[in-house]
């Protein structure tokens, strides 16, 4: 590969063809950091409105550092992978406390922040600070596996090192921001996972896989293990105009988010079984349980199969990490995807 020519071809294509995205209109490392965290595991089109609302709500690093966690989670509601939001805030607090509110500009320091891995560190350093640092994610590994004909399995963690070294070798020192963003954009628009658009590619001349006709065979990626499935009943327990909500534990999946009481059950659990289990757990009476919906919710590592019920109650006092809420109060609580699906079922029945 002719390194200089490759850099020029990639950067000039990026300048001409790049999408107009809100985080590309700023050089603020705080805002770029937010965008990179949101873009992990989430599509660009989905992120744009969330990013705009988030920056409006927390325009400065100190605003986010001082924000109440429940307000933060509400802003993140629907984006999923909620630990990203909590880790982002923890990292931002470290910057506010230890770096005078200025995002550090060295890989060693920025990588010490909570939730900042090698990719995010490299993206912020190159895009916000113009420092020639590698920013390697799955997108970039796919592109470079083709351009450089790297036939290592990208599903293996140790393979990332090969790609980080490759980027360090070929990155533009004059414009590392456009170089790294150009690789990302190439992966998003041209060098896609299936059917890469080689005829439109600005760096086709430099692509070893294209010259050998191997672009559709790369990258090499072994299949992930099958995800685990769990069966749940989610129950909207009402008392006059209020519903009982519980807050999930402070750590683990969907930490501190709110939900209708959840029970792990057998498949097709009967309403009577649900009533008995909840009456015992809540030390009161839960009755008239009626199934109103069934849905599946897929997380990255497991699947929830949920039967949704509505039920009446008597003599139930909200336990620790529980509260009775009106329909208006329910709207203010941060809830994840499964609870949104349950709320939709309740709305269709005119219950909330």
165 is catalytic: no
Q: Are residues 182 and 262 in the same domain?
A: no
Is 193 among the domain residues?
yes
Question: Which of the listed residues 155, 185, 212 is the one where a domain comes to its end?
Answer: 212
- 19 and 117 housed in the same domain: yes
- Model pLDDT, residue 318: 87
CB atoms within 10 A of CB 2: 10
Q: What's the domain range around 9?
A: 3-212
Q: Which one of the listed residues 2, 17, 36, 329 is annotated catalytic?
A: 36
Q: Are 35 and 41 in contact (CB under 8 A)?
A: no
Q: Are residues 11 and 39 in the same domain?
A: yes
Q: Long-range contacts: 205-212, Cβ < 8 Å, 24+?
A: 205/9, 206/1, 206/2, 206/5, 206/6, 206/9, 206/147, 207/146, 207/147, 208/1, 208/146, 208/147, 208/148, 208/149, 209/145, 209/146, 209/147, 209/149, 210/146, 212/149
**Domain membership flag for residue 221:** no
Residues 194, 234, single domain; the answer is no
CA 278 → CA 72, 113, 256, 261, 274, distances in Å?
31, 42, 21, 9, 6
CATH number for 56:
1.10.340.30
pLDDT in tens, 251-281: 999 999 999 999 999 888 899 999 999 999 9
Q: Output the pLDDT for position 352.
A: 79
* Percent of the chain at pLDDT exceeding 70: 100
Q: Are residues 170 and 233 in the same domain?
A: no
Q: Would the pTM count as exceeding 0.85?
A: yes
Contacts for 351 with CB less than 8 Å, ≥ 6 apart: 236, 238, 310
Is 12 domain-assigned?
yes
Over 80: is that where the pLDDT of 1 sits? no
Whether residues 53 and 157 share a domain: the answer is yes
Q: Are residues 28 and 133 in the same domain?
A: yes
Give me the CATH number covering residue 255. 3.90.79.10
Say yes or no: 65 and 133 in one domain: yes
Q: Are residues 239 and 341 in the same domain?
A: yes
Q: What is the mean pLDDT of residues 305-318?
A: 93
Say if residue 7 is in the same domain as residue 130.
yes
Same domain, 307 and 334: yes
Mind listing the pLDDT tens digit for each residue in 143-173? 999 999 999 999 988 999 999 999 999 999 9
pLDDT in tens, 20-64: 999 999 999 999 999 999 999 899 999 999 999 999 999 999 999
Residues 179-225: tens digit of each pLDDT: 999 999 999 999 999 999 999 999 999 999 999 999 999 999 988 77
Domain-located, residue 111: yes
Looking at the fold, whether 158 and 273 belong to one and the same domain comes out as no
User: Mean pLDDT lowest for which of 70-79, 167-176, 267-276, 304-313?
Assistant: 267-276
Give me the number of domains the chain comprises: 2
pLDDT exceeds 80 at position 13: yes
Residue 218 domain-assigned? Answer: no
């Amino acid at each position: 590969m002719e390194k200089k020519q490759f850099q020029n071809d990639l950067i000039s294509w990026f300048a001409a063809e790049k999408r107009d995205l809100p985080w590309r209109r700023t050089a603020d490392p705080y805002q770029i950091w937010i965008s990179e965290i949101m873009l992990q595991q989430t599509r660009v089109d989905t992120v744009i409105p969330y990013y705009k609302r988030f920056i409006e709500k927390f325009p400065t690093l100190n605003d986010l550092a001082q924000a109440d966690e429940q307000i933060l989670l509400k802003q993140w509601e629907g984006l999923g992978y909620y630990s990203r939001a909590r880790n982002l805030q923890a990292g931002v607090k470290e910057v506010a406390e230890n770096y005078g509110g200025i995002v550090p500009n060295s890989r060693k320091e920025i990588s010490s922040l909570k939730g900042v891995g090698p990719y995010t560190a490299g993206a912020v350093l190159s895009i916000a600070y113009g420092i020639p640092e590698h920013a390697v994610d799955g997108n970039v590994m796919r592109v470079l596996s083709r351009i450089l004909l790297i036939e290592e399995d990208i599903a293996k963690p140790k393979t990332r090192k090969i790609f980080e070294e490759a980027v360090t070798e070929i990155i533009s020192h004059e414009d590392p921001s456009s170089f790294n963003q150009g690789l990302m954009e190439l992966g998003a628009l041209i060098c896609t996972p299936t059917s890469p658009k080689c005829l439109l590619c600005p760096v086709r001349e430099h692509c070893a896989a294209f010259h050998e006709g191997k672009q559709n065979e790369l990258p090499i990626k072994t299949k992930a293990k099958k995800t685990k499935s769990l069966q749940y009943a989610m129950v909207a327990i009402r008392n006059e105009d209020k519903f009982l909500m519980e807050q999930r534990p402070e750590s683990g999946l969907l930490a501190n988010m709110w939900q209708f009481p959840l029970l792990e059950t057998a498949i097709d659990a009967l309403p009577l079984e649900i009533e008995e289990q909840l009456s015992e757990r809540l030390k009161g009476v839960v009755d008239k349980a009626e199934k109103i919906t069934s849905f599946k919710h897929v997380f990255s590592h497991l699947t929830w199969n949920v039967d949704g019920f509505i039920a009446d109650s008597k003599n139930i006092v909200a336990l620790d990490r529980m509260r009775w809420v009106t329909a208006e109060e329910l709207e203010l609580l941060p809830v994840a995807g499964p609870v949104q699906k349950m709320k939709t079922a309740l709305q269709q029945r005119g219950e909330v």
